[in-house]
Amino acid sequence: MSLFRTKSVEQSIADTDEPDHRLRKDLSALDLTVFGVGVIIGAGIFVLTGTVAASNAGPALALSFVIAAVACGLAALCYAELASTVPVAGSAYTFSYATLGELIAWIIGWDLVLEFTVGAAALSTGFSAYLQEVLDIGGIALPEQVSSAATGFVDLPAVIIALLVTWLLIRGTKFSSRFNQVVVAIKLVVVAAVIVVGIAHIDVANWTPFIPESQPTPESGGGFADVPLITSLLGLEPAVFGVAGVISGAAIVFFAFIGFDIVATTAEETKNPQRDVPIGILGSLAIVTVLYAAVSLVVTGLRSYKDIDPDSAAPLADAFQASGVDWMPDLISIGACIGLVVVAMILMLGQSRVGFAMARDGLLPRSLAKVHPTYGTPYRITVLTGVAVAALGGFVDLSTLAHLVNIGTLFAFILVSIGVVVLRRTRPDLPRGFRTPVATVVATVSTLMCLYLMLNLTGDTWIRFLVWMAIGFAVYFAYGRHHSRLQAMPRVTASAHPREE
């Protein structure tokens, strides 16, 4: 039963006052909302719009975004309640530790490492690709050996941006937030330009049919690894477009919403977490959902989904180029280049806070939870995160890992949704700054939607996810279980039975 011992909410909050592990409370509701918008608007809106329109949903791409947003919104309600009840760094990891037990908390923490670190590395390489497009505008070309991990030796811009972001994060969360506000403002101007200019060039005929008729998959011989898991489980014929294509598209564009849960990881650094965290989570999600739906309608209205290159790294730019608006591709490339810096930064912020919480609990080496004496940030785990992201972004081609990040995030959402109901029943006495309306219904629907989206990811994605989880189990049983701080705590704060706390 020690595998399911829980860490009481009171103990989690008390740990935040330890002198060597105390984070500064500098963030407001505006900071959190901007953080959320900054991390969500990234590769999804600049890249996945074209890929999913051409390969899965057609003009109904807008519906795919709405479905993904609904799943995220339900999970966001659960995140908001837990973050206002347990305002401690670590997000889903901390929430799971207080409700579902240590083993589940470790699993979700390990899962978040996958989401944030791999996601940040992928976005660093995305930044590199857009940076090189911007440099091309000025007639500058990087040597092939240092411009891509796929075709050269190292992706140098990806390494440099990861290390620069690491420095920004060490300097302080408030400092990072101010930088983020400036960049998000630039990014929103670009997105607004895409919508306003794009509306004037839309050909509504490109939206017909809005949901294209279902078709067999164009790939021949696609096996278990290449088709959605639900297709294999139910023995269905692999197909694209139609309603199934819209749902599969939602499972893919879910990547575009990844990051709103980052807001929950900063609860410990928020001035008034009971009020500000729910505002930051729900506000940022609402803003980007409207923008995503509008941009998806623009890109499919400018150009027929049949003519969109699913492998293009810049579908928005391509759509405007095809419509004769030659200056927009340059603006989009500049906006994407700048914007992806913030996305990578906030994903790394989330990873450093999750790692900090796990180290403070002893599941990772406690030395990693040391806070910088001047800046008040967890600098050791931040440096480790930055080096890992730089190595992955610089030397590994991560173009196939967006699905893997998605499945990890959906799994985290499921556990958070379950955790809300568990904590309601085991600790009804806790003060809650925000209460999820009809919590049982919201949590159940959130869990089912996230599970269904997971089943719409490919078989090889599931295989990689299970391998990563198996590695996590090995690390926990070899180190984390034996070094957990709960081992030395009185039973009242380390009970295997939540009702005893």
The 10s digit of each residue's pLDDT in 355-396 is: 998 998 899 998 998 888 888 888 999 999 999 999 988 887
Domain ranges of the chain: 2-22+29-486
List pLDDT tens digits, range 307-331: 887 766 667 777 888 888 888 888 8
Q: What percent of the chain has pLDDT over 70?
A: 88
C-alpha pair distances (Å), 417 with each of 95, 164, 368, 436, 447: 10, 35, 29, 10, 6
Residue 448 is predicted with a pLDDT of 93
Nearest to 452 by CA among 296, 244, 240, 286: 244
Give the whole-angstrom CA distance, residue 367 versus residue 436.
Answer: 36
Residue 371 is predicted with a pLDDT of 87
Give the whole-angstrom CA distance, residue 396 versus residue 17.
Answer: 39
Q: What is the DSSP string of 64-101?
A: HHHHHHHHHHHHHHHHHHHHHHS--TTTHHHHHHHHT-
Pairing mode, strands 215-216 and 239-240: antiparallel
* For residue 159, pLDDT beyond 50: yes
* pTM reported for the whole predicted model: 0.77
| Pair of tokens at residue 99 | 């409700």
At 495, give phi and psi (nearest 5°): -65, 140
Strand (E) or helix (H) holding 298: helix 273-302
How much is the average pLDDT of 111-126? 83
Beta bridge partners of 27: 270
* For residue 498, pLDDT beyond 50: no
Cβ(92)–Cβ(261) under 8 Å?
Answer: yes
List pLDDT tens digits, range 430-486: 888 788 889 999 999 999 988 988 888 888 888 888 998 999 999 999 998 888 888
Q: How many CB atoms lie within 10 A of CB 243?
A: 12
List pLDDT tens digits, range 37-82: 877 887 667 767 777 888 888 899 889 888 988 888 888 888 888 8
Q: Is the dihedral of CA 464, 469, 473, 476 positive or negative?
A: positive
Cα angle 398, 289, 173 (rounded to 5 degrees) comes to 65
Using the structure block, give the residue that is written with the tokens 């891509």: 148
* For residue 222, pLDDT beyond 60: no
List pLDDT tens digits, range 164-173: 999 988 887 6
How much is the average pLDDT of 11-15? 78
Using the structure block, give the residue that is written with the tokens 């995305």: 126
Give the whole-angstrom CA distance, residue 358 versus residue 369.
Answer: 8
CATH architecture of residue range(s) 2-22+29-486: Up-down Bundle (1.20)
